[in-house]
Structure 1
Amino acid sequence: MTLSTASYAALADLAVPFAPPSPHGLDDSELLALKRELAEIRRRLDAADSAVSAEIANRSRPELGYDGLAQRLGARTPEKLIQRVAGVTARDARTQIRVGGLVASLTDDAPPAEPWLRPVAAAVAAGDLSLDAADAIRTGLGKPGSGVTVAALSDAVERLLHYARELTIEKLGARAREIRASLDAEHVAEREELLRSQRYLHLVPLSTGMTRLDGLLDPESAAQVTAVFDAATSPRRGGPRFVDPTAAAAQADALLEDSRTTEQIALDTFVELLRLGTLADVTAFIGARKPAVQVLVTQADLDRQAGVAFIEGQSEALSTQTAKRHVCESGSLPILMESGQVLNLGRELRLYNRKQRMALAARDGGCIWPGCDRPPSWCEAHHIVEWSRNGRTDIADGVLLCKHHHLLVHNNGWQIIRRGSQYAIVPPAAIDPSRTPRIVRTKSPAMRRLESLQKHPPARTLADPPPPPQQARELVSV
């Protein structure tokens, strides 16, 4: 333990009065090192805490009735007892019990109920994985089913444990659901319908005279609403600013100078859309122009009418039937991912055009910066070699960056390089004297699906249509 963290040694000695020391005197490297040490201490404490919570749940199991620990102490459930004793939320109590059960299974003599999750339990017990990360993997992958074997889930767990080092909890859960959808593609439509059935909107009058909006959007509905709200507010939230022509730039500047908060702009947009809807001719379709929602699907899955599709900006997989419906409504744009020369502009034009941005969005899935969660609609197309230095406006030489990271590259000495089809971020010497390139991975689930199909092509059945003579499309945007 370093000198800066020595005062934390008394954490476990409850007889010693404790007050956290001030970190103000630490330099940057010491501050981050201390944060990492505290995070590991927290993970270790949480692992022990979850095991205790699981034992409380075991001693309060339903068959014990009023003799169970929780009910003897006046708590209806073990979760309620844990909330009362530890002062945690109901969600935290449930997570502690679920993950604690996994950790306890490591020492049980009986065969574990979920053997594919033993590496997750071991990572939690070792203090390498947080409870929330473990629960995200567990709930995202689900249980074995038709076509999804224990071996397949075990392989998925190993991959997710590797991803856990670099992904946020939310993105780790999304990646787990993505893997499950890929393993169980034939049931994607059922899960899609289940989510759709859970959508709702409530208006809740409050005693203050205000009314609260409360609701849940299924992924397809959320994509349409998000597209409208992004168009209304994105420059205020770090969205595109390098825009052309002049009128678009002026519009973005006006939005930035608007005195309303971003949340107020979003609500006013919602109310105005409803108002415009009531003014429409009741005999006509409302909104002939659909929100700009991009659905991405591999051509192989579209031809087979099997597999999965993805809505840009949404983590949940959709069925190819939904993708085909969008093809029917909006048409499609073929995107050849490896050689998009037909969309290249060379030195003729400086800015990437709409079709190029769609191809970049399909390939990158948002800002390529590690850890950044900005979707494609919030990003700008960055020339790896600046146009002013004879760079080309070509797909291979462009990447998506959000405004913050775009400015970071231009103003703080960071660099993006390309090695074949891979891209890497090179930190400035002040951050890393060796300037070691950091490989970035695509955030597009559709692109990952394409890579998976290229490595493991699906077996064709007699019912499958024959492939076209020369397949020109790999991804389709609809």
Structure 2
Amino acid sequence: MTTTPQSPASQLRDAIAMLASATRSFHASGTMERCADAEVVSLLTASGEALRAAESLMITATGEVQQRSATADVAERLTTRLGCGSVAEAIQQTTLVSSGTARKLTRVAQAVAPGRSLSSGSALPPALPALRAALHDTAVGLDGAIVVTAALQPRGRTLDSELVAIADHALAAAARGDDFDPATGQTRPDAIMPATADVLRIHATAWASAIDPDGAEPIEQAAMRKRGVTLGRVRDGLVELHGLIMAEGAEQMQRFFDAVGTPRHTRVSFSDPAHQPGHCSCEDKSACRCADDGVADTRTATQKRHDALVMAFTLAAGSEDAPLLGGAAPTLLIMVDEAALAAGSGTAHLPATGATVPLAAAHHAACAGTTQRVTLNEGRVTHISSPQRIFTIHQRRAITLRDGGCVIPGCEIPAAWCEIHHVEEHARGGPTHTDNGVLLCWFHHRYLEISGWSIRMRDGVPEVRAPGWIDPTGRWRSNTRSSLRLTRRAHRVKPAGGRATRAPHEHGSNATPDG
């Protein structure tokens, strides 16, 4: 009995089916949890190669679908016979990938698939043969291939073919881990680490800049036309932010976000012998939190970026160089009924957006900014008070010297980005004096009332009390990040056989020494 040998395509389909079956069995057995570290890492490495192999096969098949759908007769196109209006749609339907992934597959396939002469019908070499070979060898996957394709096959521009060929070879070598010298054309195999897709993007961008130094200019011009930011309508207390930001602007924003969101000291704990694990004296053990090692900043990364953006605009608006709006610096306006503000109930209003916000927003604005009372009677303005300036620049400098940054323990926001909080509310007669002002970041200032933290002034020095679940003792504690005060404290330390070193004088600060 003779058997018909399987075609290579059938053999490959069977191998893929076996891999899928083995993967399902592996998951069903729960084996991963019992694997040693080395086995987990080896499985990750192997699955990465399998992914690149699958993506290589998808790219090759996509190129073939493109070839068979390129006929002038629409009825003869493969896509038409599949009931699809485009190659990307056919890829989505057959592979279940997203539309974005389908577009990437079609673009890479166009760059690495052999072409065909329109006149003779003979095969033409691919635009990026080295990338094609790297894909076939599973040295690079779709993520890496798309960055190379985008750099060397830019839409709407034609680059020098010889330079593109060199860059194609160099980028394929980087993906493999080979060191290619474009000056000599020599390649040292396995001389460098194989480039990840992100590293390959950096390489590809550098090559694109070298091949087409003027290419950035039309991109810049297009970016200038398309840039823009739009604020949506207020819905459920939130406003959608849409827009396109130019690269250097986004870079500056990212730097600011990174600075604000860097997780330096993220937990706060207070040491007390009576409230340590194993030595707790709390009567209600069920409510005791002494075993906790502190409180974490529970904000998500996106929430931190939101707070950083608000902080940046608040700082910019208060700058002496800020552009004027109606003859004054761009000022946040919050309208609130004076009786409601005094009673602590009701809502406030934002005239620019028409939004209604909690009264806490008005308290925050009144504490951190300038307040002005406008008296209305049946819609008529009957009295306007003089604006009450909140903390002069000289007072802010003095408070900065004393506090060094946000006074809430664990918060790393520097003094320059902080607001000044009236410990005794300004609306209730609290003086605008250094003995009544402390530095708080926007987040801790805005939500101080519900955070559980308390602040008081003692002889001109701020003290904080943590929420009970952080510090069950409820003790008031001084906290400072001022390098001057910390240095002075260090100078009080007595050497083993001598007297305390002399402390430097705190010029410009009204802070009293801690006891």
Classify the TM-score, shorter chain.
0.3 to 0.5
Q: Which has the higher contact order (CA 8 A, sep 6+)?
A: 1
For the pair shown, which has the larger CA radius of gyration, 1 or 2?
Answer: 2
TM-score, normalised via structure 2 length: 0.44
TM-score, normalised via structure 1 length: 0.47
